[in-house]
Amino acid sequence: MAGKGAKATAAKAAEKEKGKKAPASRSSRACSQEEPAPKKDVYQLFAEKVRDNKQLESRWAVMQETRVEYFRGKDFTTFIKNHPEVGEILGPDKDMEAEDIVNTLLIKNLVIRCDRVWKTVRPGKKKLSSWPAHLEIHQEQVFTENDGFYAWMFLKRRTLWQTILSFIWPVFALAVCLFPVYPYQCKIVVLYSCAGALLFIVSLLLLRAAIFGILWVLLGKRVWFFPNINAEETTFRELVRFWPEKDEGERPKWTSRLFYATVALLVILLLRHHAPDEAARARYQKKVSNIIDDVLEWSPKLALSGMMDKHTEDNATETSNYTSHARKTTEESTDAAEDEDADETQGAADDTRTISSEA
DSSP string, 5-64: HHHHHHHHHHHHHHHHHHHHHHHHHHHHHSPPPPPPPHHHHHHHHHHH-TTS--EEEEES
**pLDDT for 25:** 42
**Which 3 state secondary structure label does DSSP give 152?**
strand
**pLDDT for 199:** 92
> Terminus-to-terminus CA distance in the chain, angstroms?
176
How many Å apart are CA 199 and CA 192, to the nearest integer?
10
How many Å apart are CA 123 and CA 215, to the nearest integer?
20
Stated as kind and residue range, the H or E segment containing 71 is: strand 67-72
Segment 299-313, tens digit of pLDDT: 777 666 655 555 555
Assigned domain for 137 exists = yes
Assigned domain for 90 exists = yes
Q: What is the CA 25 to chain-centroid distance, rounded?
A: 60
CB 184, CB 297: distance < 8 Å: yes
Q: Is the pLDDT of residue 33 over 50?
A: no
User: For 219-299, where are the alpha helices, taking DSSP H only?
Assistant: 236-239, 254-273, 278-297
Buried b (16+ CB within 10 A) or exposed e, 118-142: eeeeeeeeeeeeebbbebeebeeee
How many Å apart are CA 359 and CA 354, to the nearest integer?
9
Q: In terms of C-beta density within 10 A (0-12 exposed, 13-18 middle, 19 or more buried), how is residue 70 classed?
A: buried
Q: In terms of C-beta density within 10 A (0-12 exposed, 13-18 middle, 19 or more buried), how is residue 299 classed?
A: middle
Segment 72-105, tens digit of pLDDT: 988 898 888 888 888 888 888 888 888 888 889 9
Least Cα distance to 154 among 79, 53, 49 occurs for 49
**Which 3 state secondary structure label does DSSP give 134?**
strand
Assigned domain for 60 exists = yes
Mean pLDDT of 256-269: 88
How many Å apart are CA 98 and CA 71, to the nearest integer?
13
**pLDDT for 1:** 39
**pLDDT for 335:** 60
Assigned domain for 47 exists = yes
Least Cα distance to 268 among 260, 256, 258, 279 occurs for 260
> What's the domain range around 126?
42-152
Mean pLDDT of 111-135: 83
Assigned domain for 107 exists = yes
CB 181, CB 174: distance < 8 Å: no
**Which 3 state secondary structure label does DSSP give 192?**
helix
What pairing do the DSSP bridges indicate for beta strands 134-137 and 59-63? Answer: parallel
| Confidence band, pLDDT 50/70/90 cuts, at residue 35 | very low
Assigned domain for 62 exists = yes
Total count of domains within the chain? 1
**pLDDT for 346:** 61
CB 51, CB 151: distance < 8 Å: no
